[in-house]
A and B are shown apart, each in its own frame.
Chain A
Amino acid sequence: MAVDEKTVAQVAHLARLSIDENRVTEYADEMSKVLALAETMNDINTDNVEPMAHPTHAVQRLREDKVTETSQREAFQQCAPSVEEGYYLVPQVIE
């Protein structure tokens, strides 16, 4: 699958990446190569292979439903650029 310049811009937007406009063609080319490499796997017959959700063949351990955390709001909010009345403040989000 070849990645065009439009797709590069779209992927960058979804990931909120700022990219150099002058290098979009170069990125499209590189991403196409990466995908081509991955596509070689399409030649393998995987009919009887169970999809792998995780590389270790282990299952999830479960936690007891107990509240053990206490508020550390002061500590966490020290690294926030802006807080008020306990809220984290961010640039206005318009719905």
Chain B
Amino acid sequence: MQWETVIGLEIHAQLATKSKIFSASSTDFGAEPNTQANAVDLGMPGVLPVLNREAVHMAIKFALATDAEIGKRSVFARKNYFYPDLPKGYQISQMSLPIVGKGAVEVTLDDGTTKTIGLTRAHLEEDAGKSVHDAYHGQTGVDLNRAGTPLLEIVSEPDMRSAKEAVAYARKIHSIVRYIDICDGNMQEGSFRCDANVSVRMAGDDKLGTRAEIKNVNSFRFLERAINFEVERQIDIIEGGGEVVQETRLYDADNDETRSMRSKEEANDYRYFPDPDLLPVEVEQSLIDELQKTLPELPETRKARFVDELKLPEYDASVLTADKATADFFEATIAASGATPKLASTWVTGELFSRLNKAGLELTGSPVNAERFSGLLARIQDNTISGKIGKQILDQMWDSTASADEIIEKEGLKQISDSSEIEKMIDDVIEANPSQLEEYRAGKEKLLAFFVGQVMKASRGKANPAQLNEMLRKKLKG
């Protein structure tokens, strides 16, 4: 039987405002419990919500970045349900008139093909607090610091057909919100959360199967695993003659499985109605125009420019532009070092990234900043040092504050490109290895590497490799 997977994602992006969406409490992460929960956040009697301008602006920026319709008049609604981390008994959200309407993003898949994923809508809402279970002798502890933090809930169309497509889409949205600086994207701290609606159906079927909503996924890797697990589970149920139940399931990363949370049939009677405490939000065209001007070059455009103008391969361009900090670092490096884009790309995505990964660091926390990194690339570009020596120098720069030039000077690492000097070293090596020379001349050409190695060693790694190779070949021929 041929099964088709259908996935839609709901992404909650915490907006990077200083204060909450309806109150002037701080949104900083990690404060002592309940020290950032004021009367509005606690739902005290008599308080009124006042909407944060920045949250509205951020939602509009997102619409502009995803070619989405902008709700010129949007309305806040109350979503009613009871849970201890929701003190008012309702969450202020948007229902029929969201601030962001239909849009689309293009994602690049592993095989290099692209696919357009539709956005249904994105709306502003407030986050709930956090509950701590099991820590207080049979009671639940509630921390309301997060209550009222602005969220943009981004809802996709059910356009994805595999876990990989879902991850590509989630990464794309992640990249966009970070580019336009509306969300820090920190998945561990919950600033960027993905819920996946997953269903399966017979290939060619028009009707969607019954879906399960998967929550509690805090990394892209887990998103892929959770969806794959869920797809298998649903296929097993149907092939075993059963029926998939519409429900919310939690992903358990430790056991790599999803587990039923509660039946959604009863719970989803949220009785939405317009919030009488808040007036409709109107967005003027002049504001949209103004915000349009503040948008940076977006990943797609920047990638195209890297390919067209910098002549970078498609793959390098997508790696370098996936994250704004990386693309900025890369451009600063080529501007300051005079290195070719390809050389800079190889060094950023190769040597720099592998060292960062090993150290578990983000680019923003790199011990070697763009300025020092440029200093190193400049010396590789102008042949002062070889790439091999460059790697050694980068290691030394990693653990110090020295510049590449300082290290080259101090360690005497300057590349030897003086042909007479190289020639002398070649002569010495040939003279010291007469039997290898004979074998080489008798046709054992693999020995070239041996000679290269010997001369390199004699130069302490400093001989210009291209020059050395060329001169050595000539000399060996006799």
Which residues B336-361 have CB closer than 8 A to chain A? none
The answer on a CB contact under 8 Å between A60 and B26 is no
Known: A63-B51, A69-B23, A86-B33. A58 touches B279 (CB 8 A): yes
The residue of chain B having its C-beta at the shortest distance from the C-beta of A60 within the complex is: B279
Q: Could you tell me the dominant secondary structure of chain A's interface residues? A: loop
Does the CB pair A64–B53 fall under 8 Å? yes
A67 within 8 A of B: yes
Those of A66-82 within 8 Å (CB) of chain B: 66-69, 71-73, 76-77, 82
Q: Does B155 contact A (CB under 8 A)?
A: no
B274 within 8 A of A: yes
Contacts of A53 in B (CB 8 A): 75, 97, 274, 279-280
Q: A92 and B35 in contact (CB under 8 A), knowing A59-B279, A76-B42?
A: no
Is A21's beta carbon under 8 Å from chain B? no
**B478 within 8 A of partner (CB):** no
Interface residues of B (CB under 8 A from A): 17-19, 23-26, 32-39, 42, 44, 50-56, 75, 80, 82-84, 97, 131-133, 136, 138-144, 250, 261-262, 269, 271, 274, 276, 278-282
B44 CB to closest chain A CB, in angstroms?
Answer: 8
In the bound complex, how far is the Cα of B133 from the Cα of A14, in angstroms?
24
Enumerate 6 A-B pairs (CB-CB under 8 Å) in ascending A order.
Answer: A59-B281, A71-B36, A72-B38, A87-B33, A89-B139, A89-B141
| A93 contacts the other chain (CB 8 A) | yes
B19 partner residues in chain A, CB cutoff 8 A: 65-69
Q: How near does chain A come to B185, taking the closest CB pair, in angstroms? A: 19
Across-interface contacts of A82 in B (CB, < 8 A): 139
Flag whether A47 is at the interface (Cβ < 8 A): no
Task: A91 to B133: give the CA distance in the assembly, Å.
Answer: 10
Q: A66-B24, A69-B38 are in contact. Are A60 and B281 (CB under 8 A)?
A: yes
Complexed CA–CA distance, A32 and B97 (Å): 30
Whether A23 is near chain B, meaning CB under 8 Å from some CB there, is no
A14 nearest CB neighbor, chain B only: B269
Q: Compute how far the CA of A95 lies from the CA of B260 in the bound complex, rounded to whole angstroms.
A: 10
A67 vs B80: C-alpha distance when bound (angstroms): 28
Report the separation of the CA atoms of residues A69 and B136 in the bound assembly, to the nearest whole angstrom.
29
Contact in complex: A92, B53 (CB < 8 Å): no
In the complex, the chain A residue whose C-beta lies closest to that of B19 is: A67
CA distance A86 to B36 in the complex (A): 11
> Are B24 and A16 in contact, CB atoms less than 8 angstroms apart?
no
A37 lies within 8 A of chain B by Cβ: no
A85 at the interface (CB under 8 A from B): yes
Cβ-closest chain A residue relative to B82: A16
Contact A90 B142 (CB under 8 A): yes
Known A14-B80, A95-B261; further 10 A-B contacts with Cβ < 8 A: A14-B271, A53-B75, A54-B276, A60-B280, A66-B19, A84-B136, A86-B35, A88-B143, A93-B84, A93-B131
Residue among A10, A65, A68, A76 making CB contact with B52, cutoff 8 Å = A65
- Bound complex: CA A82 to CA B80 (Å): 25
Q: How far is the CA of A58 from the CA of B282 in the complex (A)?
A: 10
Q: How far is the CB of A5 from chain B (nearest CB, A)?
A: 17
B26-A69 in contact (CB<8A): yes
For residue B422, give the distance in angstroms from its CB to the closest CB of chain A. Answer: 63
Are the C-beta atoms of B83 and A87 separated by less than 8 Å?
A: no
| A41 sits at the interface (CB 8 A) | no
Interface residue? A40 (CB, 8 A): no
Instruction: Please tell me if the beta carbons of A87 and B261 are within 8 angstroms of each other in the complex.
Output: no
Q: Which residue, of A53, A72, A73, has the highest number of chain B Cβ atoms within 10 A? A: A53
Bound CA–CA A68/B50 (angstroms): 13
Q: Which of B56, B132, B262 contacts A62 (CB 8 A)?
A: B56
Judge whether A62 and B33 touch: CB under 8 Å. no
Contact B271 A68 (CB under 8 A): no
- Judge whether B25 and A69 touch: CB under 8 Å: yes
The 9 tightest CB contacts between A and B, nearest first, are A87-B141, A65-B54, A62-B53, A86-B33, A71-B35, A60-B279, A68-B24, A53-B75, A88-B142
Q: Which residues of B contact A91 (CB under 8 A)?
A: 139-140
Pair A77/B34 contact, Cβ less than 8 Å: yes
Question: CA separation between A48 and B276, bound complex, in Å?
Answer: 23
- Cβ contacts A36-57/B at 8 Å (1 or 0 each): 0000000000000000011010
Q: Would B280 and A92 count as touching, CB distance under 8 A?
A: no
| Contact of B34 with A59 in the complex, beta carbons under 8 Å | no
Which single residue of chain B is at the shortest CB-CB distance from A93?
A: B140
Given A65-B19, A67-B26, A91-B139, CB of A76 within 8 Å of CB of B34: yes
State which of B18, B23, B80, B132 has its C-beta within 8 Å of the C-beta of A87. B132
Contact A85 B33 (CB under 8 A): yes
A10 contact set on B, CB distance < 8 A? 269
Tell me if B26 and A56 are in contact (CB < 8 A). Answer: no
**Residues of B with C-beta under 8 A to A62:** 50-53, 56, 281
Residues from chain A with Cβ under 8 Å of B282 in the complex: 59-60
**Alpha-carbon distance between A76 and B75 when the two chains are bound, in angstroms:** 31
Cβ of B112 to closest chain A Cβ, rounded Å? 41
| Docked-complex contact B34 and A73, CB < 8 angstroms | yes
Report the minimum CB–CB distance from A62 to chain B (whole Å).
4
Most buried by A among B83, B269, B280, B282: B280
Give the residues in chain B near A69, CB-CB below 8 Å: 19, 23-26, 36, 38
